[in-house]
Structure 1
């Protein structure tokens, strides 16, 4: 039987607990886990964190932040067992990244507002990818993002590339155009429709949803949150 740490206010205590859970006399469930098997829990915990934020509950926020931190420590423990990296490496990596990405705080770079901060961030991020020889599309987004969130993120990226509508009214016109195309596709749809017709309808609905996400972006709204309310 493992003895729990006496001082549980330090992150070292959580590291010790997770190591015990994965140890010889640890928890059978925790010992079975892999990075892949834990991935769905990372998504679930993130959404529970968002829910706590939206509810304005300090106690709930504290709990959900702890659950997310547990995921970080557990993944780090798995990596350490495989001699890949440790939690200290994770902390060092993110610390160095934040210093690099904030030269206006940790260096002599001057910025006028947050828009310049974002522009610098994207430039530094691109330089880091070039240095690491990572090849990616300028519109690349993390796999597994909720679809509406991904649509808005793509919209932000295209805006940074100089491709965007000037006004929300122009986006709304695009929304109406896409909805009209959904209506046209519906005319060719029935319960006995071919897979091609069904695929065409699905594509048009996707285009309409994408346009609605861009309208939300132009209005500075979160389309995911709008759908949930």
Structure 2
């Protein structure tokens, strides 16, 4: 039995101690075996679950999910503390110093007229800190671990700041059509469809940027819409006493169109 005090209420320091206990001698074998790499995906999943709680506007759920994210931070810091490279206080120290450095309008004598100046200064200071000497350096620094659509959008925004951009959405739409044509041509001729599909996605993100549409939110909404329509399709097939796998594509498509129309009428009513 490990020594950990039971309390009616715990604080941040208690969580740090608990992580250390779980990973230490006499603790949990699974926790002790984990590495940064083995729980990398867990970190991402917990962050996404916290975002989902934000979308739900559920404070209780958000509190729980932020706790899971905090646990991940502490877990990774504890791994490093055991290795003697850094600990949680080092993480906090680096973050505090970074925030002070990047807020000269708060902690220094830099004047700003609004949030636009704040973001512009932040970008300049970040490039200096990261030793990004060129615009291409700043583009390459956008994390490859980001979802592809978000990474594309962030790269495009950085390029836009130096004037590499369409004047309006019309140019982005023309480029999107051009990429669609190139993909269709690659399909017909056996060309590099993977590359052309990537270019199409990249251009679609650019259109969304002009329309101020978050590309990840847009595609998630489309996924939810498809699920809703498919649920309606499946219910209609069941009402006919039929199994989906026994129906032709044409029959399924007709049910899908009916589902789409029924749902549109429902929300228009």
The answer to whether the Cα contact below 8 Å between 1:216 and 1:223 also exists between their aligned partners in 2 is yes
Cα RMSD for the two superposed structures: 1.7
Aligned to 2:87: 86
How many residues align structurally?
A: 217
Aligned to 1:27: 28
Please give the TM-score of this superposition, normalised by the length of structure 1.
0.89
Change in Cα spacing, 1:90 to 1:8, as seen in structure 2 (3 Å) is farther
Distance of 1:215 and 1:53 partners within structure 2: 26
Please give the TM-score of this superposition, normalised by the length of structure 2.
0.77
Distance of 1:109 and 1:7 partners within structure 2: 46
Change in Cα spacing, 1:7 to 1:128, as seen in structure 2 (3 Å) is farther
Equivalent in 190, 193, 197 of residue 201 of structure 1: 193
Q: Cα offset for 1:69?
A: 0.2
Q: Cα offset for 1:4?
A: 3.2
Aligned to 1:212: 204
> Tell me, what secondary structure is at the counterpart of 1:44?
helix
Distance of 1:161 and 1:26 partners within structure 2: 53
Superposition map of 1:73-222 within 5 A: 73-130=74-131, 137-140=137-140, 141-189=142-190, 197=191, 200-222=192-214
1:224 aligned to 2:224? Answer: no
Q: Cα offset for 1:88?
A: 0.6
The answer to whether the Cα contact below 8 Å between 2:172 and 2:203 also exists between their aligned partners in 1 is yes
Consecutive unaligned residues in structure 1, runs of 5 or more: 190-196
Superimposed CA distance per residue, residues 78-126 of structure 1 (whole angstroms, 9 cap, x where no aligned partner): 1111111110110111111011111111111111122211111111111
Distance of 2:8 and 2:77 partners within structure 1: 21
The answer to whether the Cα contact below 8 Å between 1:8 and 1:14 also exists between their aligned partners in 2 is no
Aligned to 1:46: 47
Distance of 1:85 and 1:79 partners within structure 2: 6
Q: Cα offset for 1:8?
A: 4.0
Consecutive unaligned residues in structure 2, runs of 5 or more: 222-269
Greater RCO structure (CA 8 Å; 6+ sep): 1
Q: Cα offset for 1:7?
A: 5.9
Q: Cα offset for 1:161?
A: 2.5
Q: Cα offset for 1:216?
A: 1.0
Distance of 1:52 and 1:111 partners within structure 2: 34
The answer to whether the Cα contact below 8 Å between 1:7 and 1:13 also exists between their aligned partners in 2 is no
